């Protein structure tokens, strides 16, 4: 389909990827009618390495990411530099000595370097519109977002434009400065000026440096709380009542009969609370209430599955050093809190049947801050009352002695049963033979069946664990011996 760029040279559009195109990284390029070009990387795969500012995050979710399209501009100018202290850089000032067409913009990039030469990895970029170029003072380029630059790491400022007249100020050894006089020493000993005609092959100029000023963020507070909103599984389209039966139409609720449903947000308090689901039909589920509130219910009503025992916050967090941190907080209606870190499971000691609000506390210092990237997710889970593990089959003759030994952590309220599979496919329970205490409340347990007369040519062992949120059984080091 035809695409037309706007006055800033930006292209916006979409197309459908044909069937059977393999996942991976693809180069998508566009060519204009007057030899202008633009390119981007298209990435589509289950596990994506996404470069966000300076760091590479591994995002384990099936998504499709399309990076921003950046116009390719010839004849760039570059200046290498390094910082003594890591800082969040927000922008750069340049001095322009000539301005061409006001319709030709200037792109300013921060790039990584290899052996003192800018490479093609752009960490951050900004745009100076041609009409905003100032010839009597500094011209500011503000980046799209602050970018953290590591201390004592060499980076490069790269300036690109299509205009042959745009010119920036440099300081060159041996030349005359109308303000400060003759330049008698190296202007900037930390980096050097480089020129290129194709943004690939660079020529350094050891006696010259770009005239520039970098801006670092100065944070006014050492902490900030960000409200990420209420956690819900589905939002109700309608909530109606017939007698004591409430019907909730909430697409994507994911509930089953017998589940606990946390309903909140209704203007009539009788509809709010934790209820047992009595029926499910498509997008609708029902529960029973006490009282006779008006119907339909009003308000923004949301639904969350109850009896949650485990939480995890999936979030992209960049902690630039040990002084920075991000803590996630789940707050109940009564003000009590559940605190945790990103991507670390939280095991609750009781079932959670309240609506919660998620917030994040970012902590740093006046010059260092963590970064919390967009797209945080909260995943709730619930522990089953019981679950089992079945081993693979192993040889066992009829009348053999069969023994299963493992290490177990069984707090009060939890338990484990051991069974061996008989020749007819049914299971025979085995009683505990011996128990040896270990460290940290663990014990080595042995279950023996001698003789195992009901065995066929092979058997398997089945462990059935039971417990609660407050009493979670754990098993390790399973060994089975048959003689």
CB 175 within 8 A of CB 187: no
pLDDT band of 216, cuts 50, 70, 90: very high
Q: Is the pLDDT at 452 greater than 90, yes or no?
A: no
Tell me the three-class secondary structure of 208-273, residue by residue. Answer: EEECEEEEECCCCCCEEEEEEEECCCEECCEEEEECCEEEEECCCCCCCCCCEEEEECCCCHHHCE
Helix (H) or strand (E) holding 127: strand 117-128
Query: What is the per-residue pLDDT for 82?
Result: 95
Mean pLDDT of all residues in 274-296: 95
Q: Is the pLDDT at 70 greater than 50, yes or no?
A: no
pLDDT (tens digit per residue) in 157-190: 999 998 999 999 998 888 877 777 787 777 788 9
Mean pLDDT score across all residues of the chain: 88
Could you tell me which residue, 219 or 65, shows the higher pLDDT? 219
Q: Is the pLDDT at 57 greater than 60, yes or no?
A: no
User: Which residue's structure tokens are 């991507």?
Assistant: 343
Query: What is the per-residue pLDDT for 342?
Result: 94
Q: Is the pLDDT at 73 greater than 90, yes or no?
A: no
| DSSP per-residue letters across 91-105 | EEEEEEEE---TT--
Query: What is the per-residue pLDDT for 477?
Result: 95
Beta bridge pairs of residue 305: 261
Q: Is the pLDDT at 52 greater than 70, yes or no?
A: no
User: How far apart, in whole angstroms, are the C-alpha atoms of residue 121 and residue 306?
Assistant: 46
User: How far apart, in whole angstroms, are the C-alpha atoms of residue 349 and residue 353?
Assistant: 13
Query: What is the per-residue pLDDT for 11?
Result: 76
User: How far apart, in whole angstroms, are the C-alpha atoms of residue 320 and residue 430?
Assistant: 55
User: How far apart, in whole angstroms, are the C-alpha atoms of residue 171 and residue 189?
Assistant: 12
Helix and strand numbers (H, E) in the chain are 0, 45
Using CA atoms, how far residue 483 sits from 190, 394, 395, 421, 474, in Å, is 75, 12, 10, 16, 27
CB 192 within 8 A of CB 80: yes
Query: From edge to edge, which strands make up the β-sheet containing 117-128?
Result: 117-128, 106-114, 155-161, 77-81, 193-196, 202-205
User: Which residue's structure tokens are 């400065």?
Assistant: 177
User: How far apart, in whole angstroms, are the C-alpha atoms of residue 49 and residue 125?
Assistant: 20
User: Which residue's structure tokens are 């529960």?
Assistant: 287
User: How far apart, in whole angstroms, are the C-alpha atoms of residue 270 and residue 250?
Assistant: 18
Mean pLDDT of all residues in 378-382: 93
pLDDT band of 480, cuts 50, 70, 90: very high
Q: Which residues touch 481 (CB under 8 Å, ≥6 apart)?
A: 402, 403, 405
SS3 assignment, position 334 = coil
Query: What is the per-residue pLDDT for 340?
Result: 94
pTM: 0.73
Query: What is the per-residue pLDDT for 414?
Result: 95
Mean pLDDT of all residues in 93-115: 95
Half-sphere exposure of 388 (CA within 13 A, CB side): 12
Query: What is the per-residue pLDDT for 44?
Result: 67
Q: Is the pLDDT at 142 greater than 80, yes or no?
A: yes
Query: What is the per-residue pLDDT for 276?
Result: 97
pLDDT (tens digit per residue) in 1-30: 567 777 777 777 777 777 766 666 677 777
Q: Is the pLDDT at 204 greater than 50, yes or no?
A: yes
Domains and CATH numbers, the chain: 1-71 (no CATH), 73-216 (2.60.120), 228-304 (2.40.30.20), 308-381 (no CATH), 386-482 (2.60.120.200)
Structure tokens at 423: 């020749």
């Amino acid at each position: 389909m035809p695409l037309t760029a706007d006055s800033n040279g930006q292209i916006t559009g979409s197309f459908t990827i044909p069937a059977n195109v393999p996942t991976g990284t693809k180069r998508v390029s566009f060519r204009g009618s007057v030899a202008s070009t633009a390119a981007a990387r298209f990435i589509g795969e289950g596990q994506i390495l996404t470069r966000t500012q300076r760091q590479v995050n591994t995002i384990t979710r099936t998504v499709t990411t399309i990076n921003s399209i950046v116009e390719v501009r010839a004849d760039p100018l570059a200046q290498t530099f390094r910082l003594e202290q890591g800082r969040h850089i927000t922008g750069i000032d340049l001095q322009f000595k000539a301005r061409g067409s006001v319709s030709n913009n200037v792109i300013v990039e921060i790039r990584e370097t290899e052996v003192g030469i800018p490479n093609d990895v752009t960490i951050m970029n900004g745009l100076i519109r041609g009409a905003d170029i100032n010839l009597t003072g500094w011209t500011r380029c503000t980046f799209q977002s602050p970018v953290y630059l590591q201390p004592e790491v060499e980076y490069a400022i790269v300036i690109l434009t299509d205009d042959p007249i745009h010119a920036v100020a440099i300081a060159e050894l041996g030349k005359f400065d109308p303000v400060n006089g003759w330049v008698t020493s190296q202007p900037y000993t930390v980096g050097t000026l480089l020129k290129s005609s194709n943004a690939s092959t660079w020529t350094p100029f050891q006696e010259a440096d770009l005239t520039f000023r970098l801006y670092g963020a100065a944070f006014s507070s050492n902490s900030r709380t960000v409200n990420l909103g209420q956690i819900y599984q589905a939002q109700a389209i309608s909530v109606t009542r017939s007698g004591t039966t409430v019907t909730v139409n909430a697409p994507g609720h994911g509930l089953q009969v017998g589940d606990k449903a946390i309903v909140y947000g209704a203007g009539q308090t009788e509809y709010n609370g934790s209820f047992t689901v009595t029926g499910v039909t498509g997008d609708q589920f029902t529960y029973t209430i006490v009282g006779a509130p008006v119907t339909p219910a009003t308000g923004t009503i949301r639904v969350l599955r109850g009896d949650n025992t485990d939480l995890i916050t999936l979030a992209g967090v960049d902690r630039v050093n040990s002084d920075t941190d991000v803590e996630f907080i789940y707050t109940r209606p009564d003000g009590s809190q559940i605190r945790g870190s990103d991507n670390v499971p939280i095991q609750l000691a009781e079932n959670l049947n309240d609506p919660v609000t998620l917030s994040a506390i970012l902590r740093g210092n006046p010059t260092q801050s963590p970064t919390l990237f967009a797209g945080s997710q909260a995943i709730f889970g619930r522990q089953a009352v019981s679950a089992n593990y079945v081993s693979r089959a192993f040889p066992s003759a009829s009348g053999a002695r069969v023994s299963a030994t493992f290490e177990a952590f069984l707090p009060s309220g939890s338990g484990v049963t051991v069974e061996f599979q008989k020749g007819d496919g049914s299971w025979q329970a085995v009683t505990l033979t011996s128990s040896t205490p270990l460290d940290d409340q663990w014990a080595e347990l042995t279950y023996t069946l001698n003789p195992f007369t009901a065995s066929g040519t092979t058997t398997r062992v089945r462990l059935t664990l039971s417990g609660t949120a407050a009493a979670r059984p754990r098993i390790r080091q399973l060994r089975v011996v048959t003689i």
